[in-house]
Chains A and B, each alone.
Chain A
């Protein structure tokens, strides 16, 4: 029995897929199409990072590591010629899960600032390894040589429509699953650990396990983004792992809204759009981006999606966000028109009781 929220989510997801399908039928190429594909990759990456930052209160500065792992692992597996795309995909996810478990075991014990430092260090260690191990990864040049895209299950990635839909489907389904996970009791546990870890201990919650699980979920989702990126550029490059990629992830989250489920995705879209627009008109892309972030961070003090939703009354305002130094609840739905005065999820449960 699905909750109203879940049904709504899947409906939106289906609508998006249909819309993209229609778009895809009439657009075989072009900047918008490319933008959508890049958005799917980067959007997944941003959403994955927010599992850590927004939901669990863990500021990771090395998340690019899992994104690049997804890209490199996927490419390398395919280049062996031994596995097809579906198997390479599954294996990449497994590898990502393993690596994030290992890294998580080391990092998760540390508290906020030190967690940021150690994730930065491990992330950059990963980068250094990629660059140094040129025989495996192509070093500074990246993994070139293309990747074989043999058809599988009747899907041919050489066909523009198929390719677009694979990206869209992967994105939408992954996001819906993530939504489910974050709305589950586990999602509540994440937020409790974020809000007050000490009290959690006294409520019998195993903080380490909660954080480690969040870390693994985030790592796996980031690797999914990496896979899509690898498909897009037919390779993998060291800058996927550089700490600025981790920093960009934080930017995206902040631009869209750390306290709203889809905030990071919106932020990813904003960042991509900004990059494209500024690169066409000026070479001072860094300056523009910096100013935009300043205005959002210090002016609005919350991400764009958060701001819009507050104005529309769909989420409670004045909670402060992670940016105000206070914790606030991520809205459980990107739903417009709900009463802002009551707890959204509780209101729904109350209604179902009647």
Chain B
């Protein structure tokens, strides 16, 4: 496999609770992959480990062959891994445009400038470009705190994109959305992935969505990797069928 992120023997224990247990997997470069599993399977914890928010108890995570295990989150961001959160994590006192500009400037290392202009015109142009790419130009002038739930999730992704990532991790991008809104969001994500040729990994509960667009699926259960492969393989994997009793959650 042409891996971009390699995980070997990854384990995480919180006190006596083993949340992630000896996970080995490779995420394929440039692929649109999904991580699925029941609640409590450890999907978000996996993301947290991959992005440096928590340190593993054991195991290693490599990005393009570079060891990133135990690196702190801003270091990992600089290596090209960005994430969006299950509950959109934004900046209430900023407008969408301002937050995006700040994110872009942070990426360009021009944010800690004590004398410059804010917003910086170049950064603003780039911020607007990103919002356009994700189809969110309309919310530019809104206050982050005033956005609808869906728009908040979109901005969350846009902020991650401002990091010009190689790998984009989305934690349940459609959570809290109805059928129609979810469909739109998934279209947006798919379009984004095609345009940018990113490695995009997302956590999802909805099987229809997963089998609709994912190229590879990784199934987690009780902190271990139950199965991985293409959607077709996963659908017919006896272990998976047994675990899910053949149905959606």
Interface residues of A, Cβ cutoff 8 Å to B:
3, 180-181, 183-189, 191-192, 194-196, 198-199, 201-206, 209-210, 213, 316, 319, 326-329, 342-343, 345-346, 349
| Across-interface contacts of B120 in A (CB, < 8 A) | 185
Mark each residue of chain B from 77 to 88: 1 if its CB lies under 8 Å from any CB of chain A, else 0: 110001101000
Tell me which residues from 59 to 115 in chain B have a Cβ below 8 Å from any Cβ of chain A. 72-74, 77-78, 82-83, 85, 89-95, 97-99, 101-103, 105-107, 110-115
User: Min CB distance, B41 to chain A, in Å?
Assistant: 23
Which residues of chain A come closer than 8 Å to B77, judged between CB atoms? 201-204
Contact yes or no, B74 A185, CB < 8 A = no
Q: Are A186 and B73 in contact, with the CB atoms below 8 A?
A: no
Contact A205 B111 (CB under 8 A): yes
Interface of A is mostly: helix
Bound CA–CA A331/B229 (angstroms): 53
Contact B119 A184 (CB under 8 A): no
CB <8 Å contact, A184 and B115: yes
What's the least CB distance linking A176 to chain B, in Å? 12
Is the CB of B227 closer than 8 A to any CB of chain A? no
CA distance A170 to B94 in the complex (A): 32
Q: A209 to B97, alpha carbons, bound, how many Å?
A: 24
Quick one: given A204-B106, A343-B141, are A196 and B89 in contact (CB under 8 Å)?
A: yes
Q: Which of A184, A194, A328 contacts B113 (CB 8 A)?
A: A184
Question: Contacts A181-B115, A185-B105 given: A191-B82 contact, CB under 8 Å?
Answer: no
Q: Is the pair B91, A199 in contact by a Cβ cutoff of 8 Å? A: yes
Residues of chain B at the chain A interface (Cβ within 8 Å): 51, 72-74, 77-78, 82-83, 85, 89-95, 97-99, 101-103, 105-107, 110-121, 124, 141, 143, 145, 159-160, 162-163
Question: Contact at B78–A189, with CB atoms within 8 Å?
Answer: no
Contacts of A329 in B (CB 8 A): 93-94
Apart from A185-B112, A191-B93, A203-B106, 19 more pairs, CB < 8 Å? A185-B102, A185-B110, A186-B111, A188-B118, A189-B112, A192-B94, A201-B74, A202-B51, A203-B107, A203-B162, A204-B74, A205-B106, A213-B112, A213-B114, A316-B143, A319-B145, A327-B93, A329-B94, A345-B118
B106 & A346 in contact (Cβ 8 Å cutoff): no
Indicate whether A189 sits within 8 Å of B102 (C-beta atoms), given known contacts A3-B117, A205-B111, A326-B92: yes
- Can you offer 14 A-B residue contacts whose CB atoms are under 8 A? A184-B114, A184-B117, A185-B112, A187-B118, A188-B105, A195-B91, A199-B85, A201-B77, A202-B74, A202-B160, A203-B103, A205-B111, A209-B112, A343-B97
Q: Are B121 and A186 in contact (CB under 8 A)?
A: no
A345 close to B98 (CB less than 8 A): yes
Provide the bound-state CA to CA distance between A198 and B48, in Å: 12
User: When the two chains form their complex, are residues A343 and B114 in contact, meaning their CB atoms are under 8 A apart?
Assistant: no
Min CB distance A90 to B, Å, is: 19
B94 touches A199 (CB 8 A): no
Residue among B51, B113, B159 having the largest count of chain A Cβ atoms under 10 Å? B113
Q: For the complex, what is the distance from the CA of A328 to the CA of B145, rounded to whole Å?
A: 10
Which residues of B lie under 8 Å from residue A319 when comparing CB positions? 93, 143, 145
Given the complex, which residues of A lie within 8 Å of B143, measured CB to CB?
316, 319, 343
* A199-B159, A203-B77 known; A343-B89 Cβ under 8 A: no
A328 to B92, CA, bound (A): 7
Contact pick for B89, options A186, A194, A198, CB 8 Å: A198
Check B91 against A204 for contact (C-beta < 8 Å).
no
Q: Which residues of A contact B101 (CB under 8 A)?
A: 188
Of all chain A residues, which has the CB nearest B123? A185
Find the B residue at minimum CB distance from A187.
B118
Q: Are A188 and B89 in contact (CB under 8 A)?
A: no
Which chain A residues border B94 with CB–CB below 8 Å? 188, 191-192, 195, 329
Tell me, in angstroms, the Cα distance from A192 to B94 when the chains sit together: 8
Smallest CB gap from B109: residue in A:
A204
Name B115's contact: one of A180, A202, A213, A342 (CB within 8 Å).
A180
A187 vs B114: C-alpha distance when bound (angstroms): 7
Which residues of chain A are within 8 angstroms of B95 by Cβ–Cβ distance? Answer: 343, 346
User: Cα distance A252–B222 when bound, in Å?
Assistant: 54
Q: What chain B residues lie within 8 Å of A203 (beta carbons)?
A: 77, 102-103, 106-107, 159, 162-163
Q: B124: nearest residue on chain A (CB-CB)?
A: A349
Taking CB atoms, residues of chain B closer than 8 Å to A198 are 89
Q: In the complex, what distance in Å separates the CA atom of A184 from the CA atom of B97? A: 16
Chain A residues with Cβ under 8 A from B160's Cβ?
A: 202
